[in-house]
Chains A and B, each alone.
Chain A
Amino acid sequence: NAGVTQTPKFRVLKTGQSMTLLCAQDMNHEYMYWYRQDPGMGLRLIHYSVGEGTTAKGEVPDGYNVSRLKKQNFLLGLESAAPSQTSVYFCASSYSQGSMNIQYFGAGTRLSVL
């Protein structure tokens, strides 16, 4: 049982390049999330999905796109990378029990945009 797996673990991009981060979960969770983590700012929600084929914007969605074609996968795309997108990106998945939302996180992707 791998939980939440993120690929790649590290990436360096030049300004203007594009890339896709992959998140895969094997827990049959309905909800999936993408966050970015910057020093002193905690985790900020980029986009999320409440089920296969659905996506929604979070707190900081500009410059990112997502897709959830399969329940177990949630992809985060950067169409034209900018230095401001240098960050550590975390994916999470969760099940929901009433008012609870227990999220399980991947190990993160460290992205540098030069």
Chain B
Amino acid sequence: GENVEQHPSTLSVQEGDSAVIKCTYSDSASNYFPWYKQELGKGPQLIIDIRSNVGEKKDQRIAVTLNKTAKHFSLHITETQPEDSAVYFCAAMDTGRRALTFGSGTRLQVQP
């Protein structure tokens, strides 16, 4: 099955700075990579995703990059704001189960 590793586990930045979270996956057949944001006391919510036929995708202040050869993908948040503070999870599609395998999460804290 798929295995996803995520780093760092915690990340603290100043408001306005950029934040980068990195993930690696093991199954070269995986072809879908979403990112979820989880606020305190809530369920995860999809913020951006990318398919394997695309190298980069942007949505306002967030972007995701994918390197299929190296089997890693990253989330980039620019101009961070205090409301970006949350736990972020990367995931990869387990093509066998047609289910997502999640990374262990990154707690992002944006200091005002």
Which chain B residue has the least Cβ–Cβ distance from A107?
Answer: B43
Pairwise interchain contact A105-B45, C-beta atoms closer than 8 A = yes
B97 contacts which chain A residues (CB < 8 A)? 45, 48, 56, 58
Q: What per-residue 1/0 map shows which CB atoms of B34-70 lie under 8 Å from chain A?
A: 1010000111111001011000000000000000000
- Secondary structure at the A interface, as helix, strand, loop or mixed, is strand
A58 contacts which chain B residues (CB < 8 A)? 97, 99
Tell me, in angstroms, the Cα distance from A105 to B102 when the chains sit together: 14
> If the complex has contacts A31-B98, A33-B99, A56-B97, are A40 and B49 also in contact, measured as CB distance less than 8 A?
no
In the assembled complex, B13 has its CB within 8 A of some CB on chain A: no
> If the complex has contacts A48-B99, A99-B31, A99-B51, are A42 and B104 also in contact, measured as CB distance less than 8 A?
yes
Give the 5 A-B CB pairs with smallest separation, nearest first.
A105-B43, A42-B104, A43-B102, A42-B102, A99-B31
Interface of A with B (CB < 8 Å)?
4, 31, 33, 35, 40-45, 48, 50, 56, 58-59, 90, 92, 96, 99-108
Q: List 11 other contacts, CB 8 Å, given A45-B97, A99-B52.
A: A31-B99, A42-B102, A42-B103, A42-B105, A43-B89, A96-B98, A99-B31, A99-B93, A101-B34, A101-B100, A107-B41
